[in-house]
A and B are shown apart, each in its own frame.
Chain A
């Protein structure tokens, strides 16, 4: 009897205390892959470039550049230069978390399929240029390497552009990317390249045009380098020279695939901003109302703007001039049509070359390039050839460069500004570099300096919290960036 009991007890011990390795071995993640091919990353980073241009950063620039005026929410704050805590999302989850994805693409493809690596370098250069243009000194050479550099240093803007010692500059990064595109590549992008469908020649053109943009940006501080860089691109003759070659990221009607301007201004926050009275008045003075109507709606046949910074009651939604289909695609939700976010464009290239010819003496007929830029823009907005010709015929003084170098530059930048509706970051860069167009501060301006349009975006509080290398207290927004005026 007792024996039986002991056997039972021993049996229970054996069963219970036999550890089972397999029992514990269940920590394989069934939810998320640990590796994905480069092509799946590229589509995401491409959308990233569009979001950087067309979401928080570009939206704020459009208010600062007085295309739009704020009525409530963020645009209202931006309009009176209260810019703190507006860009955390852009810095954290649009700019910097896109960088390691580009680095992963480069690492995966540099040896066998440099077509991908080249594209990734061009996108990376664009993204870093946005960061440094808006904030000045930013993490660059150490950014995106969490293990090696858990607290990346803030590189100087001049070093980011031009390189310095171990820092490879943006200009060199772009050149390297363009060179990669010419190398033999085992796999090449196809449908995963949502901009150029795998056409590497178009990517080279995008790269060289990006180089023009970067070069003109530093022309205030290093005209020699700017001139040589632009001259080299002109000589190479591979750049965006037709609207069909623009680097613009397409969007779709389907929810979750929609253009950010459409989502913000039509779907989620249509009450927060409308056309600036100042932009409307400027366009009226330039008789440019056909193009204006491509940019902004004309409810009941009247352009109705709102003065920047004003705090009177705004007209009702239906009576406001708001972004027209050129920017948002569809004026109603659900969307009926979609438009791309335009980032590196033909008109932009023409204006850069025109400006470079005027201020740096690079090759090309400045006036012809200036007119090419205006026409490219008008064409892009959907104006007909007849409308464009009429405008040119009736406004010869506007479409012809005249006067001093400064006056010509002002003409060029003013037209580039008008063309840049929907790509306000570039207008904001030009404004801070040249002082054109002549804008006055908003009414009831506040923020760091009520007497000047912000010369930079304020640093990000979450970065400050985690990275002691970010200047704190932050640099005030009335301090110019390195290339700034």
Chain B
């Protein structure tokens, strides 16, 4: 009698027992070199009875008398079948799998596993070991630098901050360009929910951060529309297919445990000067917010304020780390526990994960707890079932960034070099509860903002899915899957009484986001081998999908608090700025795919999908789009047998993807009236009197879907017996008839108009090389290199429009992220100082500073020239050392932080030769249209203040974002089997030390440019006085229990 482990999924228990006459057999499994083979699975053919070999390659198994054949298998070896007969002792030799280019199975759209050789488009697979123990908790960040064709930039080092992912460039002018995240076949939500503009908010997460990287088996990146077409509209920006860990067939219950601890320090701050303190014009000002005061160690006098009226020398010195020390040491404690196992009919995985991160900024944190359970079973000859459920509980506590009155970070830029900020950490408020901040009575002490005005987001999320498979015939499979992803993010934003953020009256905001997404897919797959002709395999897939997305937001703004420290909305007098928003959208899709494979070397695939969307006008809501792809393994077809070229494949694909609109874009609507902004604002109702105004956006009754077409050609080469694998692709894409909020001149009375227009192209080249450089018995050196170069161009926008903002209302000192005809997407348009015809600054002969500026100039281009990454992995016996370096060439960042600190004289460069007069670079125009070099001397303060204007001209705050980075380093030691074999507790044990972002080199910038205040957004290339980056170091322990 044999009992198979209990499986528990969603409170369902399955107990499967079998009873029969049994006998015990045993044996040894060896490889061709006579070495024992561990972990090979040994099964009685056609049953669930089986085991795996131990460290000495031995196995013991109870089998029924009816058992006839044993199947022995292990990845990398050919399966072996042995007749049992009457023997009870077996000696089995496994031979390595013969086929070159081992069949690599990748998970493609709709969760369909496919042999990679049959694909006519690019995908890239990232395995668990490439993302675990790498010093980050966000799956998006963990993919950085590893994937060709993909640009990933985090918002900042703020705990839980969002991360922007663009696959093969930007394809939609104003729609989301974030890829679709799919977990175990079910799309999940990866949006960022903003309570306010990121400029006046903490940096909220994008929701892919809810995934526990420790529970991920692999991530497959579907790069082009051809790869993702079956997902329809939503994957037009590519898809990231996450496969979670499963129990392995033939494994006994396997408990693994992972624990890591790391700490994070600020990195990427500019260097500051430490020679001059608070004041202006060389004169001391005890509450000055600039560092243009007298030099430290200068002769004290009553005039320079270094001496008080009593004649005593006043303490006046530099606090070199006053800014740096505002950023605290963050810590991350990450624990995972999993139980998984299974046999060849069923498997299960229970996983528990907990991440506890204390942020870089004071009083910030990110916590995440994941509980998941998955169960898959073959119920009978015809039916299979898979269920999984995951619950995520998250909490993000952040502080307000940006330049609003309540921002904690903004005031840091007004802290002079002689200011003891540390003192104000413990004295951030006065005895009466008011803010203690002498530098600016209308702004908050940064510590007051951090400790008294936290922004908390509590996220509860449930992701579940059920899959049922039914095989009425051998050639036909019908499956249905239903997935639900639902979360509620409950935000609480507190602004304490006395805080300058809302004029001292206090505020509590309850901002609750509810999102639910349901996906249901019916998929019918028919397979036929030797279809009409021999060796032609055909697969036909018919599918029907429904998608529903529901959004609800309830916003309660409780103003004018009565009782200090009591942060409940009932503690307020005024609620008239509260409101709710709800949205629903539905999509109904039919799709079909026909795949043909001839003799395992020529593959052709045709796909078509028709969507019907709720968000488009009724006569335009149904739209069709096709794709075709082909792949040709010429080394097999032509029987090329070469020592150099062991595998060769060429591929090509074309795809078109349609995309619908956001809900409710068709009508003109009215909104509650309001005027002003953060310096003075009026919002209705006025007492009890309502006031309404026409929305500044004009709707469209004739909206139609937008389309992106793409072409891709690529090659895959295996060289030197597949020691080197090359995957290269060239692609082009055209996006047309974009659904846009076309900017109108506001003199029309409106700000934007919804419509279809515009054209944008992308061209790109991507390369991925995997090389096994050295492979000996004990030592192995592997390297992976990726390279991406994308060129994007906005071909046209709308009739008469040659330039307009990506999102209206986002102008930063006149700098606006825009599309400009003939330029790459997202260039920043702003004011540029006037130049002479040969491009030099024009200097005002009266003042010696810049002459003036011109509006609507392109001042920055955030698009990179190219990106590349190189991972090296060295293995010596059980020691593995790996590091990833990546290099990003080009791309601009507009930095308010640097500009602000130039203006205040805090930056290192402003302290150099400060007593010496300076001359701004540029020329002076003479009346005869000639130009002479500027020779007007101006004081350093005037010079740097001219160089530090955020308004008027933004081009001096733009920095080249070229950066070389040591992104990941890890060193792991696996305890040798010889030792683990002695332990009764664990079978595998790995210890890792890791570092992340340990070093960077940004040759053209005084700060680390790999930040973007807007995070996961189409607005790129802005550092708007938000958090810098972090450097992380830590250690982890991973073990599998016996």
Chain A residues within CB distance 8 Å of chain B: 5-6, 8-9, 12, 16-17, 19-20, 23-27, 29-36, 40-41, 43-45, 47-48, 51, 55, 77, 82, 84-86, 88-89, 91-94, 96-101, 103-104, 138-139, 142-147, 149-152, 191-192, 194, 252, 254-258, 260-261, 263-264, 266-271, 311, 313, 316-317, 333-334, 446-448, 450, 461-468, 470, 472-474
Contacts and interface: CB of A to CB of B under 8 A. Distances in A.
A269 B751 contact: no
Contacts of B811: 85, 88, 462
B744 interface: yes
B952 A260 contact: no
Contact of B503 (A252, A334, A462): A334
B405 A268 contact: yes
A108 to B, nearest CB: 12
Interface in B669-692: 669-671, 673, 675-684, 686-687, 689-692
B814 A461 contact: yes
B614 interface: yes
Contact of B442 (A32, A48, A55, A268): A268
B505 A85 contact: no
B270 interface: no
26 contacts: A9-B472, A27-B663, A32-B664, A47-B684, A47-B691, A51-B675, A82-B951, A82-B952, A84-B853, A97-B746, A97-B751, A147-B698, A254-B560, A256-B559, A256-B682, A258-B682, A261-B680, A268-B678, A270-B441, A271-B442, A446-B844, A446-B847, A450-B846, A450-B847, A461-B814, A466-B743
A100 B747 CA distance: 10
Interface in B437-465: 440-442
B621 interface: yes
B285 A256 contact: no
A27 B615 contact: yes
B689 A43 contact: yes
Given A263-B681, A271-B442, A461-B831, A149 B855 contact: no
Contacts of A44: 673, 684, 691-693
Contacts of B951: 77, 82, 84-86
B503 A333 contact: yes
Contacts of B405: 268
A313 B676 contact: no
B553 to A, nearest CB: 10
A370 B546 CA distance: 77
Given A8-B470, A267-B442, A268-B503, 8 more contacts: A19-B612, A23-B588, A32-B671, A43-B684, A43-B691, A93-B746, A145-B748, A260-B676
A256 B558 CA distance: 12
Contacts of A271: 440-442
B667 A92 contact: no
Contacts of A145: 748-749
Nearest to B581: A31
Given A92-B746, A139-B747, A334-B560, A101 B693 contact: yes
Given A27-B614, A150-B800, A462 B816 contact: yes
Contacts of A104: 694
Contacts of A99: 749
Interface string B465-476: 000001011000
A84 B613 contact: no
Contacts of B564: none
A47 B855 contact: no
Given A92-B751, A152-B745, A152-B747, A9 B478 contact: yes
A317 B847 CA distance: 31
Which bucket holds chain B's interface residue count? 35 or more
Contacts of B269: none
B678 A30 contact: no
B667 A34 contact: yes
A51 to B, nearest CB: 4
Contact of A465 (B670, B671, B855, B952): B855
A29 B697 CA distance: 14
Given A26-B584, A55-B680, A270-B442, A463 B746 contact: yes
B281 A146 contact: no
Nearest to B289: A72
B746 A96 contact: yes
A29 B664 contact: yes
Interface string B423-442: 00000000000000000111
Nearest to A470: B745
B762 interface: no
Contacts of B813: 85
B490 interface: no
A188 to B, nearest CB: 16
B472 A464 contact: no
B851 to A, nearest CB: 10
A91 B853 CA distance: 20
Contacts of A333: 503-505
A94 B747 CA distance: 11
Interface string B285-302: 101100000000000000
Given A103-B749, A268-B405, A32 B679 contact: no
Given A254-B574, A268-B680, A461 B503 contact: no
B585 A32 contact: no
A6 B470 CA distance: 12
A34 B668 contact: yes
B577 interface: yes
Contacts of A465: 743, 803-805, 816, 818, 829, 855-856
A88 B805 CA distance: 14
Contacts of A254: 560, 574, 687
Contact of A84 (B505, B693, B831): B831
B675 A55 contact: yes
A16 B749 contact: no
B680 A85 contact: no
A277 B852 CA distance: 28
A10 to B, nearest CB: 11
Please give me the 9 A-B residue pairs with the lowest Cβ-Cβ distance, nearest first: A44-B673, A100-B749, A139-B747, A467-B745, A144-B749, A32-B669, A267-B503, A263-B680, A44-B691
A481 B145 CA distance: 57
A40 B559 contact: no
A93 B675 contact: yes
Contact of A255 (B505, B613, B673): B505
A26 B585 contact: yes
A434 B1015 CA distance: 53
Contact of B670 (A32, A86, A464): A32
A47 B698 contact: no
Nearest to A466: B745
Interface in B257-315: 280-281, 283, 285, 287-288
Contacts of B440: 271
Interface string B566-587: 0000000010110011111110
A417 to B, nearest CB: 24
Interface string B838-870: 000000101101001111100000000000000
B690 A43 contact: yes
Contacts of A473: 854-855
Contacts of B689: 43, 191-192, 194
**Most chain B Cβ neighbours within 10 Å, of A82, A94, A267, A311:** A267
Contacts of B666: 27
B801 interface: yes
Contacts of B585: 26-27
A27 B684 contact: no
Contacts of B581: 31
Contacts of B473: 5
Nearest to B584: A26
Nearest to B664: A29
A23 to B, nearest CB: 6
Given A43-B686, A260-B676, A271-B442, A24 B588 contact: yes
A16 B590 CA distance: 10
Contacts of B805: 462, 465
Contacts of A31: 580-583, 664, 669
